[in-house]
C-alpha cells in the first residue's frame, strides 16, 4: 500500500502538505483535527477503491477538549515518524520509483 500511494505524493508535497511515515509499522489510523475543534476519526481510506467499493465510516466530534487530546496523541506518534520532504521524495532511488509506478497500476485492486 505505501508503494502505491508514494507515487502520488509529489503534488501534495509541492502544495505544502506535511507527510510523515510512522516507522515502527504501518499506521492505519485515520484522524483529522480541524481548527482545534473538529475531530474526524474512522476507517475511511482516501483512495479510489475505498470510495467506489468499500463501506467505511468516520465519526465527527465537535469538542475542543477532545481535539486537544487527539492532537497530543498524534504529536506523540509523530515522534516515531520520519518527515518526508519534497526533496526526499524527488531523490528516491530509480528502482523505488519503478516499484511505486508498477504497484500504482494495481491501485484499483489494493
pLDDT at 110 over 60: no
Q: What are phi and psi of 11, to 5 degrees?
A: -65, -40
- Kindly report the average pLDDT of the chain as a whole number: 86
pLDDT at 11 over 60: yes
Higher pLDDT, 19 or 105: 19
Residue 25 is classified by DSSP as S
Give the domain range for residue 9.
1-24+82-110
Q: Are 16 and 33 in the same domain?
A: no
CA-to-CA distance for 80 and 73, rounded, in angstroms? 12
Helix (H, G, I), strand (E, B) or coil at 33: strand
CA-to-CA distance for 14 and 4, rounded, in angstroms? 18
Q: Are 37 and 70 in the same domain?
A: yes
Q: Are 74 and 35 in the same domain?
A: yes
- pLDDT per residue as tens digits for the range 31-79: 899 999 999 998 887 667 677 777 788 899 999 999 999 999 999 999 9
Higher pLDDT, 107 or 69: 69
Q: Are 59 and 18 in the same domain?
A: no
Residue 109 is predicted with a pLDDT of 61
Amino acid at each position: 500500500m505505501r508503494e502505491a500511494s508514494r507515487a502520488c505524493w509529489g503534488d501534495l508535497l509541492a502544495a505544502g502538505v506535511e507527510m510523515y511515515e510512522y516507522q515502527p509499522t504501518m499506521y492505519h489510523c485515520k484522524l483529522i483535527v480541524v481548527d482545534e475543534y473538529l475531530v474526524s476519526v474512522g476507517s475511511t481510506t482516501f483512495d479510489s477503491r475505498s470510495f467506489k467499493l468499500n463501506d467505511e465510516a468516520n465519526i465527527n466530534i465537535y469538542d475542543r477538549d477532545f481535539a486537544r487530546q487527539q492532537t497530543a496523541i498524534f504529536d506523540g506518534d509523530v515522534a516515531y515518524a520520519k518527515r518526508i520532504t519534497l526533496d526526499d521524495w524527488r531523490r528516491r532511488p530509480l528502482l523505488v520509483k519503478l516499484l511505486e509506478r508498477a504497484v500504482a497500476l494495481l491501485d484499483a485492486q489494493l
